[in-house]
Amino acid sequence: MPFQLIHGDITKIRCDAIVNAANESLLGGGGVDGAIHRAAGPELLAECRTLGGCRTGQSKLTKGYRLPADYVIHTVGPIWQGGRSGEPELLCSCYRTALSLAAENGLETVAFPLISAGAYGYPEQEAQRIAVQTIAAFLETHPDMTVTLVIYDGTPDRRRSWYPEISELLDRAGKSGSGQSGSAFSGAQKAAKPRRRLFRNMNFAGAVRKETADTAAEIAADAEYCMAEPMPAAVPASLKEELLHADESFTQMLLRLIDAHGMTDAECYKKANIDRKLFSKIRSDIHYRPKKATAIAFAVALELSAEETEDLLRRAGYAFSPSTPFDIIVLYFIKTGNYNVFEINEALFAYDQVLIGA
């Protein structure tokens, strides 16, 4: 997967280069800087002394010494001063210069901590947003690189507070681990009853797509009804079209949709956060059976509706379920029209779910 988020300690990551959140002296400090110097050993500091420091927003390369990583890229993030002193641009420059330095030196696997989000006081959500967007943009033109954002403090609740609507959906499904009990959609079922007829001719995904203004809870409640009783298959917009492709494999449907959407293969697999080599494997195997997260990544890249996504999933032997956090979160983004695979992965990461892509 070209870009992923993980929980962990960056000093333990085996890759071509880990990035250090250093200060302009490059002579070590606390936080991740201190951890990297401790793990690398004194030779790292000795080499840093020869570099003559580093300006904020810039990056410099050293060996990794006793670290599992071969190299360390030292970058200096901005100190947060309220956001009006060029901090966003400087933080963006940290990721861009570090990745450029890696690419120039043929380093293909890079791991970052969340630069400036510790002692330098950068608000974590904004720091993560800049990291994700800058890394994703860089990977657009460097499809052979793999980048990991390593989040050290495993306190998921803070990240979940960034997604109040998703938390509400998951709480109602009793899936957010917030101690809420009760059935998936308790309390909202009565509200959904009058509307049940509305979904008579839709499957779950179609129903979710249809309701644009509903509260999260009502949508979830309707979904329950849609799954509770066998619904007649949705009457597809063009029955002939549907029948024409009724027995398509996953690969056949994927390749047809890529063409139908006027996308190139590369545009699609990059937007899906799918590795180029894996895409080639899928393209050459008409019976390829992807993981569910891979199939959904392609649906997101193609910006399919919930119903079309369900059809593509079916070709790979999967279906949506309104009671799993992963499906609820993915459907929330599809229904709200946000097809940014990296933003979807930030939310999935906040709820300890599998990320989409491969």
Residue identified by tokens 């779950």 is: 204
Phi, psi (degrees; rounded to nearest 5) at 315 = -65, -20
Q: How many Å apart are CA 209 and CA 211, to the nearest integer?
A: 6
* Residues between 54 and 113 with contacts to ligand APR, criterion CB under 6 A: 77, 113
Single out the residue of 11, 146, 309, 345 in contact with ligand APR (rule: CB under 6 A).
Answer: 11
Q: Of the ranges 48-56, 117-125, 262-270, 288-296, which one interacts with ligand APR (CB under 6 A)?
A: 117-125
Give the nearest distance from C-beta 24 to ligand APR in angstroms.
Answer: 8
In sequence order, the β-bridge partners of residue 3 are 147
The DSSP output letter for 65 is T
Helix, strand, coil share (%) of the chain residues, nearest 5: 50, 10, 40
Q: Of the ranges 16-24, 55-63, 177-185, 227-235, which one interacts with ligand APR (CB under 6 A)?
A: 16-24
Length of the chain: 358
Give the nearest distance from C-beta 31 to ligand APR in angstroms.
Answer: 2
Give the nearest distance from C-beta 78 to ligand APR in angstroms.
Answer: 9
Token duo for residue 31: 């936080």
* Residues between 263 and 322 with contacts to ligand APR, criterion CB under 6 A: none
- Comparing CB distances to ligand APR, the nearer of 38 and 277 is 38
Give the nearest distance from C-beta 356 to ligand APR in angstroms.
Answer: 23
Q: Would you tell me how many other CB atoms lie within 10 Å of the CB of residue 12?
A: 14
Give the nearest distance from C-beta 157 to ligand APR in angstroms.
Answer: 15
Token duo for residue 51: 């570099």
* Residues between 150 and 169 with contacts to ligand APR, criterion CB under 6 A: 150, 152-153
Q: What is the CA radius of gyration of the chain?
A: 23
Q: Of the ranges 31-39, 83-91, 230-238, 281-289, which one interacts with ligand APR (CB under 6 A)?
A: 31-39
Give the nearest distance from C-beta 219 to ligand APR in angstroms.
Answer: 34
Q: Of the ranges 28-36, 57-65, 170-178, 204-212, which one interacts with ligand APR (CB under 6 A)?
A: 28-36
Single out the residue of 45, 51, 92, 119 in contact with ligand APR (rule: CB under 6 A).
Answer: 119
Pairing of strands 59-63, 71-76: antiparallel
Single out the residue of 5, 10, 40, 258 in contact with ligand APR (rule: CB under 6 A).
Answer: 10
Single out the residue of 3, 5, 16, 23 in contact with ligand APR (rule: CB under 6 A).
Answer: 23
Token duo for residue 266: 């590369």
- Edge to edge, the sheet with strand 71-76 lists 3-7, 146-151, 109-112, 17-22, 71-76, 59-63
Give the nearest distance from C-beta 30 to ligand APR in angstroms.
Answer: 4
**33 is a site residue for ligand APR (CB under 6 A):** yes
Give the nearest distance from C-beta 321 to ligand APR in angstroms.
Answer: 34
Residues of this chain that interact with ligand APR (CB under 6 A) are 9-11, 21-23, 29-35, 77, 113-120, 150, 152-153
